[in-house]
Amino acid sequence: MIIRSMAPLRIGLGGGGTDVSPYSDMYGGCILNASINLFAYASIKPTDNGKIIFNSEDKKEKEIFDSTEKIDFNGKLDLFKGIYNRIVKDYTHKPLSFELTTFVDAPPGSGLGSSSTLVTAIVGAFKEWLSLPLGEYDIASLSYQIERIDLGYAGGKQDQYAATFGGINFMEFYSEDKVIVNPLRIKEEILKELAFNLVLYYTGTSRLSSKIIENQQKSIKNNLHKSVQAMHNVKEMAVLMKESLLRDQLDTLGLVLNKGWEFKKQMAPGITNPVIDNIYDEAISAGATGGKISGAGGGGYIFFYCPGNTRYNVIRSLQKLGGNVQPFQFTKRGLQSWTI
């Protein structure tokens, strides 16, 4: 028997960072994001040999342990250990024996929510294997708790919910971990046109998002007016972008993205740098009307809105800069799991 699961990565269209505490606790956050056809995969093969095997195929890391109720963290595949420890603590109350194998279509630090999506995929595989009583909100909340609380990794809440629910969603974040996911009903032709007009570009560099997020959190805790106001403005851009999509006003998206990017850069140090600024300027000069980093910033993926047929000229300009253009389509389905 093999249990498999897959969860989609996402691009953050607007409001990124307002899902991070303490801002979301104090002011409420709003995020507009969309899942895409890049995925995190998890496979569990139950065994009876008294061993636990963790195998990350994309990172080329592997660890083997004797079955135990708790595995200590050592900086290697700690996501796997954190999930296992929580599953045993909350549900099985006894050691398990199995081999867990994973793969992610995007590298860590890409800005597409890869780490959180992987956590969600692994939790989904355990749910399938052990028939855990978890609904969509439960899975997303548990994935968030494991990554942010148990493991102490800095970050927000949107990635776990985007991976679990899938589709294009307007998400609201409040204090005490209250989250509301609002799926948007958008015409199929509008989604196709949006995907056609968005160019997703990998800068060739990953980044440690936790450092940028920690700077952002410090700015909010210290009540730095510039950063707080920037986050208010970023949240407002997410609302404007949602309205543009629902009203089929796609060509306003580029302008909103451009304004949102200017505000996002004011949220914390490290969000942009000369390399990113150069990429952005090249895309705008080639015909894009706006764009933004997908994720906390500092590197990873950046996307641009290219109206009409300007995407071709934008792609040619970006390819000269040494990164890669990533083809993608939106996907409506979130976390999926099955047993073979």
Burial class of residue 125, CB neighbours in 10 A (0-12, 13-18, 19+): buried
Active site residues: 159
Query: CB-based contacts of 172: which residues, under 8 Å, 6+ apart?
Result: 28, 29, 30, 179, 180, 182
CA-to-CA separations, 114 to 105, 209, 295, in angstroms, rounded? 8, 12, 10
φ and ψ at 59, to 5 degrees?
Answer: -90, -10
- Determine how many CB atoms are found less than 10 A away from the CB of residue 320: 8
Please tell me the distance from the alpha carbon of residue 323 to that of residue 316, in angstroms, as a whole number. Answer: 11
Bridge partners of 71, per DSSP, are none
Sorted by sequence, the CB contacts under 8 Å of residue 11 that are 6+ apart come out as: 33, 34, 36, 112, 198, 200, 294, 301, 303
User: In angstroms, rounded to a whole number, what is the distance separating the alpha carbons of residues 110 and 116?
Assistant: 12
How far apart are alpha carbons 340 and 184 in whole angstroms? 33
Residue 154: CA atoms inside 13 Å, Cβ hemisphere, count? 16
- Which CA distances in Å does 260 have to 12, 36, 184, 233, 240? 12, 21, 20, 7, 10
- Rounded distance, CA 304 to CA 313, Å? 12
User: Distance between CA 280 and CA 293 in Å, rounded?
Assistant: 9
CA-to-CA distance for 305 and 311, rounded, in angstroms? 8
Question: Residue 323's CB: how many other CB atoms inside 10 A?
Answer: 17
